[in-house]
Amino acid sequence: MRTIKAADIVPKVAEMIRHASIHLPDDVKRAFKDCMAAEDSPAAKEIFRQLLENSDMAEATGLPLCQDCGLAVFFVDVGEDVVVQGSLKDAVTRGMVLGYQEGFLRKSSCDPMTRANTGDNTPAIIHFDFVPGDRIRIAFMAKGGGSENMSRVTMLSPAQGWEGIKRFVVERVAEAGPNPCPPTMIGVGIGGTFERAPILAKRSLMRHLDEKHPDPKIAALEDELLTAINKLGIGPMGLGGKTTCLGVKIEMAPCHLASLPLAVNVQCHSIRHEEVVI
Amino acid sequence: MAEYTLTTPLTDADVAPLRAGDVVFITGTIYTARDAAHKRLMALIDEGQPLPFELQGSIVYYVGPSPAPPGRPIGAAGPTTSYRMDTYAPRLHALGQKASIGKGKRSDAVKAALKEHTAVYFGATGGAGALLSKCITAARIIAFDDLGPEAIRELTVENFPVLVINDSVGGELYAVPDRKAAGLE
Ligand code: SF4
């Protein structure tokens, strides 16, 4: 058994949030450069130029990449051989509050009916899981509203199969058009239950763009979806072009024999995710 | 695709020649408002109360900036998705608002209002919040302080870059998704 003090987790979470909000991951920057070179249209090229300049500007000034610093979503994998001294949930939440405060990040969490801002971005959305080992892995994602609003969950019938899945995903991206700040990354959750599918979809977005699914069959499905989506020609910011989507990530889980749950989580180009292992 | 430099407030003569795809650099004063602020503006109009800024010739920027760090007038300040303001925009255009700045598609009602009142919808690059803040030289809250990021701010901008997405003659810049190529038809 390894003992971890909850208080030690707080600054690590805060630092991770500040860093992720300012620094676009390297693989995303690389993808922007590659896509900029591949585009024919001057407008599409110009958008990538601006996104790269925005990333430089954020790093130089410490301003967040996007004013929508998101709701803070966490996937916390707790090793079964870890004892936490204090409350893990409180530690993650306190780290989040500190990170948003000290990083001058926008607090976007509000009451769904009165719309009154909670003032500190609480509550954090935390998904806990238990895994073998004596470590805690805390993965953070800043989820902005514009792209999240374009996300959907549905219950297909098993007969609809892969063709039905593909149609639903591509249709969602077509309908979303310029709204979710394309080029996007699309997370797809297939299977599980009504509530598990969207968690799978979101979790898949923690993978890096160049991180292929370990199962080559699923990796091939990801490529198939990416190709179909990019044929829509929506392009960066909806101005037309080859790059509507940077990558598709799929996670699957067994489901009921009567069901085929499916979730599509749309992630904008401002892909702010990071993780820390304690 | 032409390039224009416009100074606020905008007149019909400024707006009428603009066409979808044109690049415009805005200098002057623009006002921020998003969901909650629009709702309150509507209530003020219903009650016949004065508005916090002059609508005639105005540009409304759909943005909820991040907090200003020390030494800067504003934090990151990129556009938010516009469709949530679609229910309010036609009424504001009828009262003299000449342009909005946001990202994403507008409703048919908004497009009709642009034609009727010689107004335009500008797009700014979504998510480029750090970059766009460079063109904002001053910011102050002028109404609804309690709304935090959604309060109405008066921004002083210099060469703020936007694209004409919907013009006043029915033109639109956004690409129509090719459903056939993607295998949907
Ligand atoms: S969709 Fe993403 S990039 Fe666009 S405004 Fe929202 S958080 Fe920012």
What percent of chain B has pLDDT above 90?
A: 98
For A18-25, what is the mean pLDDT?
98
Identify the CA nearest to B163 among candidates B98, B109, B99: B99
For B19-37, what is the mean pLDDT?
97
Distance between Cα B48 and ligand 1 center (Å): 35
pLDDT at A203 over 90: yes
pLDDT at B1 over 90: no
Residue A209 makes CB contacts below 8 A (sequence gap 6+) with A25, A27, A28, A31, A185, A246, A247, A271
Phi and psi for B90 in degrees, rounded to 5?
-60, -40
Arithmetic mean of pLDDT over chain B? 96
Residues B104 and A178: their CA atoms lie apart, in Å, by: 5
Report the pLDDT value the prediction gives residue A213, as an integer from 0 to 100: 96
- The angle subtended at Cα A247 by Cα A202 and Cα A42, nearest 5°, is 130
Amino acid at A63: L
B75: confidence class by pLDDT, cuts 50, 70, 90 = very high
Arithmetic mean of pLDDT over chain A? 97
pLDDT at A76 over 90: yes
User: Does A183 sit behind a cis peptide bond, omega within 30 degrees of 0 on the bond before it?
Assistant: yes
User: Which B positions 66-125 lie with beta carbon below 8 A of chain A?
Assistant: 66-69, 72, 75-78, 80-81, 83, 103-105, 123, 125
Note the pLDDT tens digit of each residue in B127-176: 999 999 999 999 999 999 999 899 999 999 999 999 999 999 999 999 99
The CA–CA distances, whole Å, from B131 to A52, A194, B79, B160 equal 10, 40, 12, 10
Residues B173 and A91: their CA atoms lie apart, in Å, by: 47
What residues of B act catalytically?
Answer: 38
pLDDT at A191 over 90: yes
Residues B99 and B114: their CA atoms lie apart, in Å, by: 8
CA dihedral A54, A56, A60, A66 (to 10 degrees): 30
Q: For residue B129, give how far its alpha carbon lies from the nearest alpha carbon of chain A (Å).
A: 4
What percent of chain A has pLDDT above 90?
A: 99
pLDDT at B92 over 90: yes
Residues A78 and B6: their CA atoms lie apart, in Å, by: 56
Note the pLDDT tens digit of each residue in A162-181: 999 999 999 999 999 999 99
Identify the CA nearest to A222 among candidates A242, A250, A260, A199: A250
Note the pLDDT tens digit of each residue in A225-278: 999 999 999 999 999 999 999 999 999 999 999 999 999 999 999 999 999 999
What percent of chain A has pLDDT above 70?
A: 100
